[in-house]
Structure 1
Amino acid sequence: MHFDLASGVALHVIPTKQFKMTHVLITFTTPQTRDNATARNLLANLLETSTHRYPTQTALARQLAKLYGAYVGMGVGRVGRLHTVRLRASFVNDQIAGTNLFAQVIDLINEILFHPLIDDNEFDGPTFRIQAHNLEQTITAMYDDKQFYANRQLMKLYYPSDTVMRVPSFGRVADLTDLTAQNLVPVYRDMITHDRVDIFVLGDVDPNMVRDEIGLLPFADREIPSMRPYYQQPLFPAVQQRVEHQPVVQAKLNLGYQLPVYYHDRNYYAGLVFNGLFGGTPYSKLFTNVREKASLAYYATSRLLPFTGFLGVQTGIQSADAQRVEDLIAQQLADLSVGKFTTEQLVEVQDSLINQYRASHDLANNILGRELLRALLNLPPATAVAAKINAVTPEDVSRVAQMVKMQAIYLLSGEK
């Protein structure tokens, strides 16, 4: 059920008896810029750790414990070119708690979102410094993972230097030096008053009760400009390549392709099946031929990003095998483009994708994630997903494979 709480503020209630917990997702959405991702991530960290009523992380944790161990946390994410700050909450439903726990959790959410620890137009100094340091440590630790590091370097090759897609949704360490307890306050006020807001409630709830309680959150009307999540870029005239040497035992060869297949467009399901055959499932050509038969990779996978038209391949290899692996990956793609795969392989991949889709309904966060995409893109509910996957033909797979264009090659090598 859908309710408009204010202009630009929507409530989506999904009543179900499937879960014993009630789940709430509140998203603040705005176009990402080159400068706002780090600030919004730090802001999310500040909001989830202190408020005026609960000025320390310990005080906030004690209040959550009183609410039968409720969870409330904040983070960031991205949908194509759109940046989202997300508040998630989960707690036992009122029938099990035997009290109006929903109202108490919404009261705490009200405190977190609308009463942050701001005095004299600045965030609390010690809290700000702790959270800025923690975020710096978190981002630095992510890049210590060489698989993650190699993927980020591939993204820097694939996306032009002037695009926001170069900047990850969680931000950059370098941006933290420009953020202060004072200049983060306008970021907060801009988010709370101007961002598009979508609120999702999933659980064994009465929609009218949810509307009444959520309606107490003091969101004001806001003007929402047209938001375009999809990112498209022209082809590079030549493949972008980079080799980097570090003392790593396992080399990383990552490849980036342009594949203009977008979320729920006419090629979307064919794109999912193609990716499953290429490297997205255990039945794929990369897994079977590169990893298993040729024994040239510790792992070899592909991933389709349907908001940016990006297809990425990640492999862990021996440095000396880089060219052989690259050639063998190219051969798998060529085979798919001419239909060189069996009906049995196609059916295995289709069954795998359908099973993944059905299993995803067992997790509340997956359901909420799909509902968020549906709301942002103004799409009708997905129907007959299994039938659409099964309707993909070998000719569809080959047609999509022929659309793939190599754009970037990154090798993190342990040898010079």
Structure 2
Amino acid sequence: MFTKFELQQGVHLYIRKTNQFKTITMSFKWTSTLEEKQAAHRAVLSNVMQDSNAMYPKQSDLRKAMDELYGSVFYMDAGKRGSAHIVSLNMECVNDEYLSTTGLFDDVLEMVHAVIFKPNLSNGQFDESIVNREKRSVIERIKSVYDDKTRYAQKRMLEIMRPNHPASISSSGTEQHVSQITSASLVEAYDKMINEDVIDIYVVGDVDEQALVEKIKNMFSFTAREDVRKPFEVTIEEKEPQKVFEKQDMKQGKLQVGYHTPVLFHHDDYPKMQVTNGVLGGFAHSKLFMNVREKESMAYTINSIYGAYYGILYVMAGIDANLEEKAVTMIEEQLAALKKGDVTSLELEQTVALLSNSIRSAFDSARGQIEVYDQYKQVDEHFTADKLIQKWQAVTVQDIQDMASNIQLELIYLLSGREA
């Protein structure tokens, strides 16, 4: 799917030559170990680098330059995957072949080079007003979780199930860590990211591979660094399931039922667990949706999510708080049905079809191709969507039964309104 080129130790370029798009899409990804304090710095840093640089010292200058480059798109973000924190720089421009002029892609590369290697520094420090503004932006993003009660309930569930653990650490760090960031500490974080992070560079478009390899090798002179990435290992301590109820000023109850499973992303049975989760609560035809919501009207919304990097599967439901016991009982009944092999051929076929459609639709965009491949290359550098779809299609009812038997209840969490 992508052709891999090693530019330096720990720095790789992945090119997908295709005429599927009239654009060229690039993504630079810096990967480091997920840790709260550094996550806060890197989240703010991605905002600051996106704001301006030495070539375009004002945000308006950079925006104007993007407009003049035929509306090229540029943005940065920060996220996490397993025990890794990832800062991404993304750029998309029209392929020169479709323009009356040439050199657009070279101009875009120059801009990307400036963003990476020419930060907006004065006397060796980032502009304090920009840093403070972007700190406020990240803090607002962190605080916004509290206002979205579904996201907040999910956050609390993960904090209770996996305290001080990558599963519960935010990719933006904490408010406290963000507030403590200084211009000087942000420069340190920048230097560490540029010089020590593992770097993956992706390009999708109708390009000359060898010419592009030489161009990027010459323009982006990253030094060699150790590739310390490895599969995230999870140790689960078996214990009695616990119940945690919390209250806030709200109307609808937010129920989170957390389970654990030994089947993680790198496990051979990962595709089987994806299908199992799909049958349980991943789609509108699933057992949870059809039985708990549609048949019994027990929940306003309900679905299940498989956090494969952490060995967590959890059910999210919006319910009347006084129906918690009945709702949990019904949720457990749907999982019990899977453990008994109570799965129809239609449920299985629909799940595989929808999983297949979701990955095919992701491949309709260059960005989707990059994101999917960046994830799955950890398992297979020759990954294709068809390979994964074939694994889903091979899943049997017995496989689902086996996977369901590995799903164990760990936490029942309910966030509900205060008593009148």
Partner SS for 1:216: helix
Which residue of the partner structure matches residue 69 of structure 2? 67
Q: Is the 8 A contact 1:250 1:316 kept in 2?
A: yes
Cα distance in 2 between the residues matched to 1:212 and 1:220: 13
User: In the TM superposition, what whole-angstrom CA distance separates every residue of 1:300-321 from its partner, at most 9, and x where no partner exists?
Assistant: 1111122111111111111111
How far 1:121 sits from its partner (Å)? 2.8
Unaligned runs of 5+ in 1: none
1:23 & 1:412 partners in 2: Cα distance?
42
Q: Displacement of 1:146 after TM fit?
A: 0.9
- The one-letter code of the counterpart of 2:409 is M
Equivalent residues of 1:158, 1:240 under 8 A apart:
no
Instruction: Answer whether contact 1:82 1:229 (CA < 8 A) is retained.
Output: no
Asked if the contact 1:231–1:309 (Cα under 8 Å) also holds between the matched residues in 2, the reply is no
Kindly report which structure 2 residues correspond to 1:173-252, keeping only aligned pairs within 5 A, or say none: 173-252=175-254
Give the corresponding residue for 1:137.
140
For residue 96 of structure 1, what is the aligned residue in structure 2?
Answer: 98
- The answer to whether the 8 A contact 2:75-2:89 is kept is yes
Matched letter for residue 329 of structure 1: I
1:220/1:245 CA distance change after superposition, 3 Å: same
- In structure 1, the residue matched to 2:17 is 15
Corresponding residue number in structure 2 for 1:49: 51
Name the amino acid aligned to 2:188.
P
Mapped to 1, the partners of 2:377 and 2:346 lie a distance apart of 37
Cα distance in 2 for partners of 1:157, 1:17 equals 48
Q: Distance in 2 between matches of 1:208 and 1:81?
A: 34
**2:173 equivalent in structure 1:** 171
Shift of residue 53, structure 1, vs aligned partner: 1.5
Once residues 228 and 264 of structure 1 are traced to their aligned partners in structure 2, the CA distance between those partners, rounded to angstroms, is 10
Q: Residues 356 and 164 (structure 1 numbering): CA distance in 2 closer, same or farther, change over 3 Å?
A: closer
Q: Distance in 2 between matches of 1:374 and 1:11?
A: 16
| Aligned match for 1:342, one of 335, 341, 344 | 344
Question: For each residue in 1:142-168, what CA deviation from the matched residue of structure 2 results, as whole angstroms up to 9, or x when unmatched?
Answer: 331111111101110110x33233211
Q: Which moved more, 1:220-229 or 1:51-60?
A: 220-229
Equivalent residue for 2:396?
393
SS at match of 1:19: coil
Task: Compute the displacement of 1:78 (Å).
Answer: 1.3
Shift of 1:125: 1.1
Match in the other structure for 2:361: 359
1:316 aligns with 2:315: no
User: Number of residues paired by the alignment?
Assistant: 415
Q: Deviations over 1:340-378 (max 9, x none)?
A: 121222122122222222222112222101221244456
Equivalent residue number for residue 130 of structure 2? 127
**Residue from 403, 410, 414 that aligns with 1:411:** 414
Please tell me whether the aligned partners of residues 293 and 300 of structure 2 are also in contact (alpha carbons under 8 angstroms).
Answer: yes
Gaps of 5+ in 2: none
Give the whole-Å Cα distance in 1 for the aligned partners of 2:57 and 2:34: 30
Residue 407 of structure 1: CA displacement? 1.3
Match of 1:166, SS state, is coil
| TM-score normalized by the length of structure 1 | 0.96
Aligned CA RMSD, in angstroms, stands at: 1.6
Stretch moving more, 319-328 or 255-264: 255-264
Q: Secondary structure at the match of 2:6?
A: strand
2: CA distance, partners of 1:260 / 1:83: 23
Residues 141-160 of structure 1: pairs in structure 2 closer than 5 A? 141-159=144-162
In the TM superposition, what whole-angstrom CA distance separates every residue of 1:262-320 from its partner, at most 9, and x where no partner exists? Answer: 22532112111100110001111011001100111111111112211111111111111
Cα distance in 1 between the residues matched to 2:49 and 2:254 = 37
Partners in 2 of 1:129 and 1:385 — Cα distance? 45
Q: Which sits farther off after the overlay, 332-341 or 261-270?
A: 261-270
Contact 1:298–1:315 (8 Å) recurs in 2: yes
Contact 1:81–1:231 at 8 Å: present in 2 too?
no
User: Is the 2:82–2:166 contact (alpha carbons within 8 Å) kept by the matching residues of 1?
Assistant: no
Residue type of the alignment partner of 2:130: T
Match for residue 305 of structure 1?
307
Supply the distance in 1 between the matched residues of 2:281 and 2:373 (Cα, whole angstroms): 27
> SS in structure 2 opposite 1:215?
helix
Q: Following the alignment from structure 2 to structure 1, what is the Cα–Cα distance between the partners of residues 213 and 378?
A: 20
Question: Matches of 2:346 and 2:140 in 1, distance apart?
Answer: 47
Verify the 8 A CA contact 1:22 1:203 in the aligned structure 2: yes
Q: Does 1:30 align with 2:22?
A: no
Distance in 2 (alpha carbons) for counterparts of 1:41 and 1:243: 32
The separation in 2 between residues aligned to 1:217 and 1:40, in whole angstroms, is 24
1:373-400 deviation per Cα after TM superposition (whole angstroms, max 9, x unaligned): 2444563323533322111110000000
Q: C-alpha distance in 1, partners of 2:376/2:305? A: 21
